Amino acid sequence: MRRAKPPKHEPDNMAYWFIRHKDELLIDLDDAARRTKSGAPWIEVFFRRRLRDAIKAGKLNVREVWLVRSNSEHHFSAFVHLASPMPDLEALIWQLHLGSDLYRGRADLMRLARGIEAPSLLIFNRDPKIYRAPDFVCKCKEKHVTARNPDCAIWLKLRGYSPWELFGPSSQTVERCIALPLGKVPTKLIMEQAK
Ligand SMILES: [Zn+2]
């Protein structure tokens, strides 16, 4: 018998949008194999083990778990399909606890705090074919950024907010280290910046 071909992961020139449903956790495992302090891969320490322990402790009632490839190599996403609905805030905290990307997680929390629709979602450049269909599909080939996809109706509806919109732009200059004193820290030291 011939071995089945491995599934193809090439983009198919569409974008598949998955908004967090009430009974889901959406985990974004950027560089899942990177080593943690203990030397074990991130996905093991912060996803599998934490998920196992939460299930064992009766803190999460999980129906099924799907691991799928994300858009770039070594990046994975996981869908944790829960047995019952979970409030948004609690779910976003669980997502972080289960190793989902911190920068994405902080933006998700801020979007929730500001009442922005669909605070947590994943976009794939191919259909991950999980237990449910995507919420939206669009024909954008490029990563969704306002400058590149100004006319995408889904993007306009569920627009991801750039970190700088949520938190302010971050400076790109090379910094020298400013030693901060203990006790009251003068604001002018905080504000110091390389020219
Ligand atoms: Zn689009």
**HEC per residue, 66-88:** EEEECCCCCCEEEEEEECCCCCH
Q: What's the CA-to-centroid distance between 11 and ligand 1, angstroms?
A: 14
pLDDT reading at 2 higher than 70: no
Mean pLDDT of the chain: 90
Helix, strand, coil percent content, the chain, rounded in steps of 5: 25, 20, 55
> Which residue's entry shows tokens 């929730």?
112
The pLDDT value given to residue 5: 55
Q: Express each pLDDT in 62-79 by its tens digit.
A: 999 999 998 888 899 999
Distance 177 CA to ligand 1 centre (A): 41
Query: Which residue pairs from 138-142 have beta carbons closer than 8 angstroms and sit at least 24 positions apart in sequence?
Result: 138/14, 138/15, 138/17, 139/13, 139/14, 139/15, 140/14, 140/15, 141/11, 141/13, 141/15
CA atoms within 13 A on the CB side of 166: 20
Residue among 46, 47, 81, 45 at smallest CA distance from 61: 81
Please check the confidence at residue 137 and state whether its pLDDT lies above 60: yes
Contact predicate 119/92, CB 8 Å = yes
| pLDDT for res 12 | 77
Query: Looking at residues 135-143, what average pLDDT do you find?
Result: 91
Ligand 1 center from residue 143 Cα (angstroms) = 8
Q: Ligand 1 centroid vs 47 CA: distance in angstroms?
A: 29
For the chain, what percent of residues have pLDDT higher than 70? 94
- Model confidence band, residue 92 (pLDDT cutoffs 50, 70, 90): very high
Candidates 44, 22, 20; CA nearest to 34 is 44
pLDDT(7) > 60: no
Residues within 5 A (CB) of ion ligand 1: 138, 140, 149, 152, 155
160: Cβ contacts below 8 Å, ≥ 6 apart: 107, 121, 144
Confidence of residue 174 (pLDDT cuts 50, 70, 90): confident
How much distance in Å is there from the Cα of 113 to the middle of ligand 1? 25
